[in-house]
Amino acid sequence: MITTTTILAAAEGEQPSLLWPEPYDIIWSAVCFAIIAFVLGKFVLPVFTAILDERTAKIEAGLNFADEAKASAEAAATEQEQTLREARAEAAQVREQARIEAAAIVAEARTKASSEADRLVETAQRQIEAERQAAAVALRADVGALATELASKIVGESLEDVARQSRVVDRFLDELEASTLTTAKEK
Protein backbone atom coordinates (compact mmCIF):
# COMPACT_ATOMS: atom_id res chain seq x y z
CA MET A 1 0.00 0.00 0.00
CA ILE A 2 1.27 3.24 -0.96
CA THR A 3 0.34 6.19 1.17
CA THR A 4 -0.08 9.76 0.05
CA THR A 5 3.09 10.74 1.81
CA THR A 6 5.05 8.25 -0.18
CA ILE A 7 3.58 9.61 -3.43
CA LEU A 8 4.34 13.22 -2.47
CA ALA A 9 7.85 12.30 -1.41
CA ALA A 10 8.41 10.47 -4.65
CA ALA A 11 7.16 13.47 -6.57
CA GLU A 12 9.57 15.77 -4.83
CA GLY A 13 12.32 13.28 -5.47
CA GLU A 14 13.06 12.43 -1.91
CA GLN A 15 13.35 8.92 -0.60
CA PRO A 16 11.49 8.17 2.64
CA SER A 17 13.72 6.83 5.44
CA LEU A 18 12.98 3.34 6.51
CA LEU A 19 14.57 3.70 9.93
CA TRP A 20 13.12 7.07 10.92
CA PRO A 21 9.46 7.77 10.44
CA GLU A 22 8.04 11.09 9.53
CA PRO A 23 7.35 13.57 12.33
CA TYR A 24 3.57 13.62 11.77
CA ASP A 25 3.57 9.78 12.12
CA ILE A 26 5.35 10.09 15.42
CA ILE A 27 2.91 12.78 16.62
CA TRP A 28 -0.21 10.87 15.58
CA SER A 29 1.19 7.66 17.05
CA ALA A 30 1.96 9.47 20.31
CA VAL A 31 -1.56 10.95 20.43
CA CYS A 32 -3.15 7.55 19.79
CA PHE A 33 -0.87 5.97 22.37
CA ALA A 34 -1.79 8.66 24.91
CA ILE A 35 -5.55 8.16 24.29
CA ILE A 36 -5.26 4.37 24.55
CA ALA A 37 -3.06 4.68 27.66
CA PHE A 38 -5.54 7.11 29.22
CA VAL A 39 -8.54 4.81 28.50
CA LEU A 40 -6.66 1.73 29.75
CA GLY A 41 -5.37 3.58 32.82
CA LYS A 42 -8.73 5.14 33.66
CA PHE A 43 -11.15 2.25 32.97
CA VAL A 44 -9.40 -1.06 32.35
CA LEU A 45 -6.48 -0.93 34.80
CA PRO A 46 -8.65 -0.27 37.91
CA VAL A 47 -10.96 -3.17 37.00
CA PHE A 48 -7.96 -5.40 36.34
CA THR A 49 -6.34 -4.28 39.62
CA ALA A 50 -9.60 -4.90 41.48
CA ILE A 51 -9.85 -8.41 40.02
CA LEU A 52 -6.23 -9.13 40.95
CA ASP A 53 -6.77 -7.71 44.47
CA GLU A 54 -9.92 -9.84 44.83
CA ARG A 55 -8.03 -12.94 43.72
CA THR A 56 -5.19 -12.11 46.09
CA ALA A 57 -7.67 -11.69 48.93
CA LYS A 58 -9.35 -15.00 48.07
CA ILE A 59 -6.00 -16.78 47.92
CA GLU A 60 -4.93 -15.24 51.25
CA ALA A 61 -8.30 -16.18 52.77
CA GLY A 62 -7.86 -19.72 51.47
CA LEU A 63 -4.34 -19.86 52.92
CA ASN A 64 -5.58 -18.49 56.25
CA PHE A 65 -8.42 -21.01 56.24
CA ALA A 66 -5.93 -23.79 55.46
CA ASP A 67 -3.67 -22.60 58.29
CA GLU A 68 -6.64 -22.46 60.67
CA ALA A 69 -7.80 -25.91 59.55
CA LYS A 70 -4.28 -27.25 60.04
CA ALA A 71 -4.06 -25.68 63.50
CA SER A 72 -7.53 -26.99 64.32
CA ALA A 73 -6.58 -30.48 63.12
CA GLU A 74 -3.38 -30.38 65.17
CA ALA A 75 -5.34 -29.21 68.23
CA ALA A 76 -7.91 -31.96 67.68
CA ALA A 77 -5.13 -34.54 67.30
CA THR A 78 -3.46 -33.28 70.48
CA GLU A 79 -6.79 -33.34 72.32
CA GLN A 80 -7.51 -36.84 71.02
CA GLU A 81 -4.08 -38.05 72.15
CA GLN A 82 -4.66 -36.47 75.57
CA THR A 83 -8.10 -38.09 75.79
CA LEU A 84 -6.60 -41.42 74.75
CA ARG A 85 -3.87 -41.10 77.41
CA GLU A 86 -6.49 -40.23 80.03
CA ALA A 87 -8.65 -43.18 78.96
CA ARG A 88 -5.67 -45.53 79.17
CA ALA A 89 -4.76 -44.19 82.61
CA GLU A 90 -8.37 -44.57 83.74
CA ALA A 91 -8.49 -48.11 82.35
CA ALA A 92 -5.29 -48.93 84.23
CA GLN A 93 -6.82 -47.54 87.43
CA VAL A 94 -9.99 -49.55 86.90
CA ARG A 95 -7.94 -52.72 86.31
CA GLU A 96 -5.85 -52.06 89.41
CA GLN A 97 -8.97 -51.34 91.47
CA ALA A 98 -10.54 -54.56 90.16
CA ARG A 99 -7.39 -56.50 91.14
CA ILE A 100 -7.49 -54.98 94.62
CA GLU A 101 -11.21 -55.74 94.97
CA ALA A 102 -10.66 -59.28 93.69
CA ALA A 103 -7.84 -59.81 96.20
CA ALA A 104 -10.07 -58.43 98.96
CA ILE A 105 -12.94 -60.70 97.92
CA VAL A 106 -10.61 -63.72 97.81
CA ALA A 107 -9.17 -62.83 101.21
CA GLU A 108 -12.67 -62.34 102.63
CA ALA A 109 -13.80 -65.66 101.16
CA ARG A 110 -10.74 -67.39 102.63
CA THR A 111 -11.40 -65.82 106.01
CA LYS A 112 -15.05 -66.87 105.88
CA ALA A 113 -14.09 -70.37 104.77
CA SER A 114 -11.46 -70.62 107.50
CA SER A 115 -13.88 -69.38 110.16
CA GLU A 116 -16.57 -71.74 108.85
CA ALA A 117 -14.09 -74.63 108.90
CA ASP A 118 -13.02 -73.70 112.44
CA ARG A 119 -16.66 -73.52 113.49
CA LEU A 120 -17.39 -76.89 111.90
CA VAL A 121 -14.31 -78.45 113.55
CA GLU A 122 -15.32 -76.97 116.91
CA THR A 123 -18.90 -78.21 116.47
CA ALA A 124 -17.62 -81.64 115.49
CA GLN A 125 -15.28 -81.72 118.50
CA ARG A 126 -18.12 -80.75 120.85
CA GLN A 127 -20.32 -83.40 119.30
CA ILE A 128 -17.54 -85.99 119.58
CA GLU A 129 -16.93 -85.00 123.21
CA ALA A 130 -20.66 -85.21 123.97
CA GLU A 131 -20.89 -88.62 122.27
CA ARG A 132 -17.74 -89.78 124.11
CA GLN A 133 -19.24 -88.70 127.42
CA ALA A 134 -22.54 -90.35 126.56
CA ALA A 135 -20.67 -93.49 125.53
CA ALA A 136 -18.64 -93.34 128.77
CA VAL A 137 -21.83 -93.01 130.81
CA ALA A 138 -23.50 -95.82 128.87
CA LEU A 139 -20.35 -97.94 129.14
CA ARG A 140 -20.10 -97.19 132.84
CA ALA A 141 -23.69 -98.26 133.34
CA ASP A 142 -23.20 -101.42 131.28
CA VAL A 143 -19.89 -102.24 132.94
CA GLY A 144 -21.45 -101.51 136.33
CA ALA A 145 -24.34 -103.85 135.62
CA LEU A 146 -22.02 -106.56 134.36
CA ALA A 147 -19.63 -106.05 137.29
CA THR A 148 -22.47 -106.21 139.76
CA GLU A 149 -23.79 -109.36 138.22
CA LEU A 150 -20.32 -110.89 138.08
CA ALA A 151 -19.55 -109.82 141.63
CA SER A 152 -22.86 -111.29 142.79
CA LYS A 153 -21.96 -114.57 141.23
CA ILE A 154 -18.43 -114.53 142.59
CA VAL A 155 -19.28 -113.34 146.08
CA GLY A 156 -22.40 -115.30 146.20
CA GLU A 157 -24.25 -112.48 147.78
CA SER A 158 -26.74 -110.22 146.22
CA LEU A 159 -25.63 -106.71 145.33
CA GLU A 160 -29.03 -105.40 144.64
CA ASP A 161 -28.67 -102.56 147.06
CA VAL A 162 -28.15 -99.50 144.90
CA ALA A 163 -25.69 -97.71 147.16
CA ARG A 164 -23.52 -100.79 147.53
CA GLN A 165 -23.76 -101.51 143.86
CA SER A 166 -22.70 -97.97 143.03
CA ARG A 167 -19.71 -98.14 145.39
CA VAL A 168 -18.55 -101.44 143.92
CA VAL A 169 -18.89 -100.19 140.36
CA ASP A 170 -17.10 -96.92 141.09
CA ARG A 171 -14.24 -98.72 142.81
CA PHE A 172 -13.94 -101.16 139.92
CA LEU A 173 -13.93 -98.38 137.31
CA ASP A 174 -11.38 -96.35 139.28
CA GLU A 175 -9.08 -99.35 139.43
CA LEU A 176 -9.62 -99.96 135.73
CA GLU A 177 -8.76 -96.31 134.88
CA ALA A 178 -5.70 -96.40 137.11
CA SER A 179 -4.42 -99.54 135.43
CA THR A 180 -5.04 -98.04 131.98
CA LEU A 181 -3.12 -94.88 132.92
CA THR A 182 -0.12 -96.81 134.19
CA THR A 183 -0.11 -98.95 131.05
CA ALA A 184 -0.27 -95.82 128.87
CA LYS A 185 2.60 -94.20 130.82
CA GLU A 186 4.79 -97.27 130.44
CA LYS A 187 4.40 -97.21 126.69
* Range with the poorest average pLDDT among 18-27, 31-40, 51-60: 18-27
Give the pLDDT confidence of 116-168 residue by residue, as tens digits.
Answer: 999 999 999 999 988 888 887 787 777 777 777 776 667 655 556 667 667 77
Between 167 and 86, the more confident residue is: 86
* Entry pTM: 0.38
C-beta of residue 169 within 8 angstroms of C-beta of residue 148: yes
**Tell me, what's the pLDDT at 77?**
94
Average pLDDT over residues 33-50: 93
Place 174 in a pLDDT band, splitting at 50, 70 and 90: confident
Distance CA 12, CA 172 (A): 188
**DSSP percent split of the chain into helix, strand, coil, nearest 5:** 90, 0, 10
Residue 66 has pLDDT above 70, yes or no: yes
**Cα–Cα distance measured from residue 23 to residue 75, given in angstroms and rounded to the nearest whole number:** 72
Cα separation values, 25 from 11, 36, 157, Å: 19, 16, 185
Residues 159 and 151 sit within 8 Å (Cβ to Cβ) = yes
Residue predicted with more confidence, 135 or 56 = 56
**What is the pLDDT at residue 146?**
75
Measured CA to CA in angstroms, residue 61 lies from 69, 72, 161, 167 at distances of 12, 16, 129, 124
What confidence tens digit (pLDDT) does each residue in 10-28 have?
Answer: 555 566 677 888 889 899 9
